[in-house]
Chain A
Amino acid sequence: MKAIGLQIPAQAEYIDVARSCLYGVAVKLGFTFEDIEDMKVALSEACNNAVLHGGAEGQEVIDISFQPGDGVLVISVTNNGPSFLYETAKHDSLPLQGQDSSELRVGGLGIYLMEALMDEVSVQSLEGSTEVRLLKYKS
């Protein structure tokens, strides 16, 4: 199967379209239901970051590409806008912890989930754009 590209506006209401497209690609490649669910969440979190931390809402786009390899799918999510301090965010990215609910943080779980659900996550921040690469092996 060849690579497939998708461009969506960098707005929250289009992220479900990216999930639908991923579903189609992953089913065609023979990924299990559970792996597809994992990738759906990870792709959405990458898109969330692009929407929340990208450029001015309404004008920017998110470029998504699905690159199938031998027993593997690489999903690349690129957006324009200020580069995202991924390494810093990753360092702060932890599951919920605290003695009781008053100590819990709201938010900050997106990158943690991407890392937990994919086999590899890498981020390249260039001037004016950020690319998140999500890799999943077929189980």
Chain B
Amino acid sequence: MMKMVPFAIQQSEQDGVYTLKLSGELDLSVVPQLQKSLQHVLERTDVALSLHLGGLTYIDSTGIGIIVSILKARDAINAPFYVQEIPSSIRRLFDLTGLSGYLKEGTEAQG
């Protein structure tokens, strides 16, 4: 059965890594909420930004667009950005759109 999990963001900072754990459905309706959460950390060069996607049940092109914009913003200031725990249904969309080729994944966040 398909479960409707509401979108949620959990934020934490530890040992130089700022982590955003996303869960539920990341679509057009929650884009402003995610953008707001990112606002204060996107430009920080003193931490690595890590996005955990393990709890995501769905993503659309606007969600993928946000990840592209994070990638661009972090690269532009030469600050680390990592993505972790990509669910298989979401990885398929990352592969299809070509996003996978630009993402740094997994435990490299500790590196």
Interface of A toward B, CB cutoff 8 Å = 12-13, 15-16, 19-20, 23, 37, 40-41, 44-45, 48, 51-52, 95-97, 100-102, 104-107, 109-110, 112-113, 116-117
Contact = CB atoms under 8 A, between A and B. Distances in A.
Interface in B46-72: 58, 60-62, 64-65, 68-69, 71-72
A36 to B, nearest CB: 9
A48 B31 CA distance: 12
Interface in B23-41: 25, 27-29, 31
A16 B65 contact: no
A101 B75 contact: yes
Main secondary structure of the interface of B (DSSP, over half): helix
Nearest to B102: A101
Given A41-B93, A95-B96, 7 more contacts: A16-B25, A19-B58, A37-B89, A40-B58, A51-B28, A95-B98, A100-B102
A15 B25 CA distance: 11
A13 B68 contact: no
Contacts of A97: 98
A13 B96 contact: no
A96 B72 contact: no
Nearest to A40: B58
B45 interface: no
Contacts of A116: 96
A82 to B, nearest CB: 19
Contact of A96 (B2, B58, B69, B97): B97
Contacts, number: 82
B102 A96 contact: yes
Contact of A110 (B4, B61, B92, B96): B61
22 contacts: A12-B27, A15-B27, A16-B25, A19-B58, A20-B2, A44-B28, A45-B60, A45-B61, A48-B27, A48-B62, A97-B98, A100-B75, A101-B71, A101-B72, A102-B72, A102-B75, A102-B76, A104-B102, A106-B72, A109-B65, A110-B61, A112-B61
A23 B2 CA distance: 8
A96 B99 contact: yes
B75 A106 contact: no
Nearest to B28: A12
